[in-house]
């Protein structure tokens, strides 16, 4: 569902890998994870193509190494592409380095779902991102 992009690509670890339904947490095998190059405030964005009420964003973290990198990542939801969508409303902050991370968004409305790690010399790696919520007609979707 939707289109994805990220701030940069580490070799073949491109943005679309986070929505390919492959939850393999080893980025070195199975071509399942995204990864940015080390940069300031790297980000990943999903365009839902319409406004949805987002209840939960489920993130599958990289576990073959460096799972702690995701701590402090912000999940943002909204309708603006200002600052690549990273200025949209804050849904929540990742506070764990577990394999599966749930960020509750309480029905926040928006077309764009962003994950950004603020700070210098950061790397963003995601093995899967699932967005759950309701469309404007009350239907459930993922």
pLDDT score of 50: 93
Q: How many domains is the chain built from?
A: 1
CATH number of the domain enclosing 27: 2.60.120.260
Q: Which domain range does residue 67 map to?
A: 3-141
State which residues of the chain have pLDDT below 70.
Answer: 1, 30, 136-142
> Rounded distance, CA 60 to CA 89, Å?
22
Tokens 């309708």 sit on residue: 79
What pLDDT score does 1 carry? Answer: 56
| pTM (2 d.p.) | 0.93
Return the exposure string of 5-40: e unless at least 16 CB atoms fall within 10 Å of the residue's CB, then b.
ebbeebeebebebbbeeeebbebeeeebbbbbeeee
Strand partners, 103: 57
Specify burial of residue 133 (Cβ count, 10 A radius: 0-12, 13-18, 19+).
buried
């Amino acid at each position: 569902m939707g289109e994805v992009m990220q701030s940069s690509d580490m070799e073949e670890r491109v943005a679309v890998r986070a929505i390919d339904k492959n939850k393999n947490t080893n980025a070195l095998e199975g071509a399942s994870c995204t990864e940015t190059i080390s940069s300031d405030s790297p980000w990943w964005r999903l365009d839902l193509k319409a406004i949805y009420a987002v209840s939960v964003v489920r993130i599958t973290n990289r576990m073959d190494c460096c799972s702690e990198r995701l701590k402090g990542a912000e999940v943002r939801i909204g309708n603006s592409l200002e600052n690549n969508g990273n200025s949209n409303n804050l849904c929540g902050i990742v506070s764990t380095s577990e394999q599966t991370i749930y960020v509750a968004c309480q029905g926040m409305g928006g077309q764009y779902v962003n994950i950004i790690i603020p700070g210098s010399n950061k790397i963003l790696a995601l093995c899967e991102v699932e967005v759950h919520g309701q469309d404007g007609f009350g239907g459930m979707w993922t």
